[in-house]
Amino acid sequence: MEEIVVFVTSNRWFLGLIAAAISVALLSFVRKFLVVRLYRSAHKTETIWDDVLLAVVQNTKLLMKILVAYVAASFFLTIPEQQARYFHKLAVILAFVQIAIWTQAALSVWWNHHTADRIRKDPSQIASLGLIGIGLRALLMIVLLLLCLNNLGIDITALVAGLGIGGVAVALAVQNILSDLFASLTIVMDKPFVIGDLISLGEWQGTVDHIGLKTTRVRSVSGEQLVFSNSDLLSSRLRNFKRMTERRVSFTTGVTYSTSLEQLQRIPKILEAAVAKENLTRFERSHLVRFNDSSIDFDTVYWVLSPEYLDFANAHQSILLTIFKEFGTAKVEFAFPTRTTVVERGASWKEILTGKEGPNARDIESTLPG
């Protein structure tokens, strides 16, 4: 009877080893077959999913083979309950480690694919995007670790509560740094501006040189470098001139009150012709808009069909020179601030005493002493 028990036990161990060996060999064959097929498919298609599957299959490690061998052998082996509990915990750990490796590989391929274009267009984003990738991987590892501990029978409630309290304490301690950090991530993802854009922030204006994790550096139009915190940039009203497709220009022209009605009626046509003469402009309107203290004002609006400041400066200069020339031809005078003072002689003392006022007398009481 004892010999039969030994034979049965030996037979079960033998079958378990055979099952483990077959499962490992089958897994190796399937892995190699899938790698070859997915490698060919990844080079023929532009989709990312075959690249992700290829990375997952290639990162099937020895841990997975051990786990598969254990599962296959367990169908034929009778393991004592205490030892089976340890083997089960070991299998859970191996499974979660392999899942973590698969997830990291898939996330890495997906993230690199989606950030390649951004980094190629703006190399300065590599630091911010790398930080985002590290954060995603860290968050994923924490979630998998908590799931693994939970499957091992460990109560993670206190651990999660501790992590939450610790996270709040750290966030309060470094809230300014975190504010700039998240602002940097927002700039990278939302792209209100990129390197090379001409931006204006209040009284400051310049070209973006560098976008960092905490600060953004701008080269001002006068040459010096301006450093702004990322959170200040996002909380301010910022103007991005690089995003313009056209530039709207409005200017006022004032003429004197000695200008005749015929000349006033002709002025809008002169202004329109001066704008239409330029190649990169589109005329919108020109009207008499107000009677000022020392001038009659005309407002003119036109568009420069280019976002470049130099194109605007050249066109506007040419328009103003043409207006100056045409006003001279039409004998229209430009207005400038003037004030006319009228002085009239009052009555003399002799005229006041005799009651005879001169023809220019005004307000006798104002001339009396006291």
Distance CA 298, CA 251 (A): 8
Distance CA 253, CA 58 (A): 74
- pLDDT bracket for residue 273 (50, 70, 90): very high
**Strand 198-201 versus strand 238-240 pairing type:** antiparallel
Distance CA 253, CA 152 (A): 83
Distance CA 33, CA 312 (A): 64
- Specify the residue for token string 């010096």: 224
Would you call 245 helix, strand, or coil by DSSP? Answer: coil
Q: What pLDDT, in 10s, does the model give residues 295-315?
A: 999 999 999 998 888 899 999
- Specify the residue for token string 């080893």: 17
Radius of gyration of the chain measured on its C-alpha atoms: 42
Segment 222-228 mean pLDDT: 86
Check residues 275 and 238 and name the one with the higher pLDDT.
275
**Residue environment code for 90-107, b if the CB has 16+ CB neighbours within 10 A, otherwise e:** eebebbbbbebbbbbbbb
Q: Is the dihedral of CA 312, 317, 323, 329 positive or negative?
A: negative
% residues pLDDT > 90 (the chain) = 21
Picking from 294, 291, 292, 290, the residue whose alpha carbon sits closest to that of residue 339 is 294
Q: Looking at the domain that runs over 244-364, which CATH code has it been given? A: 3.30.70.100
Are 247 and 306 in contact, with CB atoms under 8 Å apart?
A: yes
Picking from 267, 276, 273, the residue whose alpha carbon sits closest to that of residue 327 is 267
**Strand 238-240 versus strand 247-255 pairing type:** unpaired
The alpha-helical segments, DSSP class H, found in 194-260 are 230-234
Q: What pLDDT, in 10s, does the model give residues 197-211?
A: 888 887 888 888 888
Distance CA 255, CA 242 (A): 36
Looking at 3.40.50.300, 3.20.20.70, 3.30.565.10, 2.30.30.60, the CATH number of the domain 192-241 comes to 2.30.30.60
**112, burial (CB in 10 Å: exposed 0-12, middle 13-18, buried 19+):** middle
**199, burial (CB in 10 Å: exposed 0-12, middle 13-18, buried 19+):** buried
Window from 73-82, 87-96, 226-235 with minimum mean pLDDT: 73-82
Q: Residues for the chain: how many in total?
A: 370
pLDDT at 331 over 80: yes
And the tokens for 197? Answer: 């854009």
Segment 47-65 mean pLDDT: 74
Q: What pLDDT, in 10s, does the model give residues 73-82?
A: 676 666 666 6
Regarding pTM above 0.75, the answer is no
Q: What pLDDT, in 10s, does the model give residues 339-350?
A: 666 666 655 555
The three-point CA angle 199-201-202 to 5° equals 140
Check residues 125 and 134 and name the one with the higher pLDDT.
134
CB atoms within 10 A of CB 161: 10
Q: What per-residue confidence (pLDDT) applies to 366?
A: 42
- pLDDT bracket for residue 367 (50, 70, 90): very low
CA count, 13 A, side-chain hemisphere, 84: 9
Q: Highest mean pLDDT: which of 90-99, 157-166, 281-290?
A: 281-290
φ, ψ for residue 281, nearest 5 deg: -125, 155
Q: Which residues have CB under 8 Å from 123's CB, separation 6+?
A: none
Are 297 and 253 in contact, with CB atoms under 8 Å apart?
A: yes
Relative orientation angle of helices 49-58 and 2-44, to the nearest 10 degrees: 150
Are 221 and 209 in contact, with CB atoms under 8 Å apart?
A: no
Q: What per-residue confidence (pLDDT) applies to 110?
A: 73
